[in-house]
Structure 1
């Protein structure tokens, strides 16, 4: 296997030699290190590496250079190796330039000179960025391949599952990729068998279920222990936070997720307002870090695994899974989050997964290259999706019911969208129908003020509207409000039937449901504030009260 490159450029030869020395001493076993004092020379080398089918993992560049500034250099380098990570070396007086670079070239980190000692100020940064890069990079011969029809719901489901579980794959559209047909011939399968999954060892699976695919790629689906201190249901930000805090505090913790970790946040193309990440990060990156963290502390993570029923026996919780297995625990945290509400308009069900997608912009963006697409919804997630899609689509249209986007989205996102020429806002409007033959071809919009209806061609419609709590599976075990959100804590005490279901002398803990020892956390909990940071806090809070509950058992 070819080693990836770390490429350094700094016109100050003394600085260039110093960082080259430090980087080489630490990373020469796993990377090729190249350094130059000329930005133009570096760009020529980058082009040469591309022609030789080499890979660059990390660019390190000074900002103030005579041939061109570091921002301009990184912008050009990014065009050739867009997946490489980028560090800008700056003096304290150049921090403003670094902030500009964050927005202009999606800079990953700016490093103040000097960086001594490198063990504290350089290597942790580089390790973090290279870890992110490796998580998403797989050479062609090591990656899973998916061969299918681009606008097939089955293909979309497989792509969404692998992407959500951070498993790199190569997508091959049978109708546009000449190589795809050769794989079908080699595997002795026909188009009716698609999607076809080819694993890195050469084995293949025809039209697999998600469960079968999960087993083939090595995901754990069965619990290993007979009893756990806490079972966490749902691996969005709240569930992941609860699992991290539970395990690091010594609780036997198991986390189950019905599809893929990350929740709605995991699908975000770019999160720019999460504390501690000034350059922003994708939902996938945040999810990968959280999953790695919880596994490091000893949490068992089962996916895909779905809960069928929960019962209580002598205070212990018995959770039956849809595959018939059972998990026993002393406490449960329900963190199943919320999903986008299903649009109920004529024609839409015919095209779900075939041009109509709930979220999933990061999964299907490449298929929208040079096309016209629409987004229904005007919240932060919709705006983040629009920014990501704008890199591929010819035109992105955001359909909102309000007069202005600023009424529903964060100011920084509105500014970004305003400054992106191929994003348009269609205000005071709703999507009222979808049409097409086998895939989505048109949508109809209705202006709420004028009543005018307009049918327009659309290659894809991404839906980011409404909030539906993930509690359909829960039946009547715990008390929910009319919208399905779980009622907890002091809100339970407002219920007229409170004394019929609550038999303990103490009051319910803040995140505790109507069943002692079962807690709710994050978007699924009635009264919880929306947002990733809030969900993380809710997960940590739930574990605090789980510990109190266990102490009383």
Structure 2
């Protein structure tokens, strides 16, 4: 494998030479600097690099090129090198191109030419992109081989964990010749799946999620025993708290049981988030926030579950599922919510085998030319229906209520109405799911007539309600009857603090019944279930953490 590549594309030969010259001057020792004068020429170069196995770190593309614009080039280049960081070059401010670059190719930066002096205008941008490329989870892992069964729940969970954490892997079905060959080479049988084979030939048979995360290069062990701030949960609220905490100088650790982004990270398209007029995928938003938190110095601890919270004097101690413990001056609980179980006959047995909670985007290809059913009437269900409509023959949205207006945003209702392959079935609920080893049919009931119907399908995606992930906090902080966490004013009753409140002051707005433990996002009682509000609460929680630390 050769040096990582920095590739610039510009149809102006003089500019092209100048870019390459400036890049070689600073990065020539560690990187190979290449240049091309058209998008087509650059794509040919990338294909050759791909065949040779050479990594590409940064792509710089001029926007206004004949034949293929910079955005069009970067969009195609992503298929070859998805990890490469991307910047768009232009000679003047081009708002339309900037918006397209953000929404289509998740561009990292937008550079105006000329950039003299490069020490001020070019190098800081390229430095940030190189750092982001090096910090991506797979920086030390070329490709993981994953062997499993198509309808195996553990195999699905392994695929989902790798995909949501942006770890590259190659999937092999244990029922196909190449999969069987790999199982034999690993001295494994069909009952050992999923089987993981790393690039350095390590073999894991039916690994836990933490074991899989470790070999994939994700952080699974805390680097320290004590922090200023510990954030539990890696959704928008948790990422917001980690970014603001670390950027303001707090030693910050974020602990996430699955992957950063939470439920929002699984969304195929968020179209009402401020600053993204054409929408942004949840995965893109989560990746940007994760990289931002790491750049400010936050530590990410993934595939670890927190099982207990304890107060030891001024310390707040978090106990992890592997028996370890870490302590902090303050804690932000941003555990979010989980989709509620379908709760019908057959659902538990077929979870991960055709019944999925959330978008499960790794299943998209399997939905091609098939009939897919989505359960739920809120935005997450509508976004999933739009996403799967791009693959499936038909998508049926099953809604228990009489309409979508009470629970779904207007823009999304209009979008669903404009897609011919999507059918919205109101007053409809799932009564049972059936299948031998995997989902084959579902039984639905019409709430208006009471009639029942059995429908054939291999894919049912469930987006109903939200159960807070707070059971592990029972006895540590006050929870309401639904399991959500009251904070601040909601804890006060007739001018008194919550039971056992030890301080003379009232709890801060986002503070739980345990001083120094704050709550942000969907897990908080009476919170607004929106991505923007969750991010805002994460930032606000850090401000209150500073107040708490100053009074100690």
Q: What is the DSSP-based 3-state SS (H/G/I as helix, E as strand, rest coil) of the residue aligned with 2:430?
A: strand
Could you say what secondary structure the match of 1:142 adopts?
coil
In 1, the alpha carbon distance for the partners of 2:159 and 2:10 equals 41
**Offset of residue 152 of structure 1:** 0.7
Query: Counterparts in 2 of 1:13-412, with a 5 A limit?
Result: 13-22=13-22, 35-37=35-37, 62=62, 64-65=64-65, 67=67, 89-90=89-90, 92=92, 95-96=95-96, 99=99, 111-119=111-119, 121-122=121-122, 142-176=142-176, 178-217=177-216, 219-223=218-222, 225-275=224-274, 281-401=280-400, 408-410=407-409
Question: Secondary structure in 2 aligned to 1:201?
Answer: coil
Taking a change above 3 Å as real, the CA distance of residues 70 and 302 of structure 1, as seen in their structure-2 partners, is: closer
Identify the residue that residue 512 of structure 1 maps to in structure 2.
511
For 2:364, what is the secondary structure of its paired residue?
Answer: helix
How many angstroms apart in 2 are the aligned matches of 1:405 and 1:107? Answer: 34
Provide the rounded CA distance (Å) in 1 between the counterparts of 2:313 and 2:44. Answer: 71
Contact 1:90 1:98 in 2 (8 A): no
Give me the whole-angstrom Cα distance separating, in 2, the residues matched to 1:192 and 1:39. Answer: 48
Deviation at 1:40, TM superposition (A): 5.9
Q: What is the correspondence of 1:450-469 to structure 2 with a 5 Å cutoff?
A: 450-469=449-468
Deviations 1:177-230 (A, max 9, x none): x32222111112111211101122101011122233344445555555554444
Preserved CA contact (<8 Å) 1:443 1:456:
yes
Say if 1:395 and 1:422, in contact at 8 Å, map to a contact too. yes
Alignment partners' CA distance in 1, 2:40 and 2:320: 59
1:149 CA drift (Å): 0.5
Q: Return closer, same or farther for 1:137/1:46 CA change in 2, 3 Å cut-off.
A: farther
- 1:462-519 residue CA offsets vs partner (Å, 9 max, x unmatched): 2222111111112133222221111111111137985643343211111112222222
Q: d(CA) in 1 for partners of 2:222 and 2:79? A: 45
TM-score of the superposed pair, with normalisation by structure 2: 0.83
Aligned counterpart, 1:473: 472
CA distance in 2, matches of 1:260, 1:82: 19
SS at match of 2:374: strand
Change (3 A) 1:204 1:50: closer
The answer to which of 382-391 and 461-470 deviates more is: 382-391
Contact 1:161–1:259 (CA under 8 A) maintained in structure 2: yes
Q: Structure 2 CA distance, aligned partners of 1:424 and 1:58? A: 43
Question: Helix, strand or coil for the counterpart of 1:243?
Answer: helix
**1:297-328: per-residue Cα shift (whole Å, max 9, x none)?**
55444333333333334454344433333334
Identify the range of structure 1 (5-14 vs 433-442) with the bigger mean alpha-carbon deviation. 5-14
CA pair 445-284 structure 1, distance change in 2 beyond 3 A: same
Equivalent positions of 1:403-552 (< 5 A) are 408-410=407-409, 413=412, 422-494=421-493, 498=497, 500-552=499-551
DSSP 3-state at the match of 1:512: coil
Contact 2:225–2:325, Cα closer than 8 Å, also in 1: no
Q: CA deviation at 1:447?
A: 3.9
User: Gapped runs of 5+ residues in structure 1?
Assistant: none
Between 1:123-132 and 1:335-344, the stretch displaced more is: 123-132
Comparing 34-43 and 241-250, the one that deviates more: 34-43
Distance in 2 separating the partners of 1:128 and 1:272: 27
Contact 2:135 2:291 in 1 (8 A): no
User: Partners of 2:535 and 2:10 in 1: how far apart?
Assistant: 40
User: Alpha-carbon deviations, 1:130-166, whole Å to 9, x = none?
Assistant: 6666767969982122110122101112222333444
TM-score by length of 1: 0.83
Gaps of 5+ in 2: none
- Give the 3 Å change call, closer, same or farther, for CA 381–134 of structure 1 in structure 2: farther
| Alpha-carbon distance in 1 for matches of 2:551, 2:93 | 56
Deviation, 1:524, is: 0.8
Q: CA deviation at 1:41?
A: 5.6
Task: Give the Cα–Cα distance (whole angstroms) in 2 for the partners of residues 188 and 308 of structure 1.
Answer: 35
In 2, are the aligned partners of 1:150 and 1:367 still within 8 Å (CA)?
no
Change in 2 beyond 3 A, CA 1:371/1:64: same
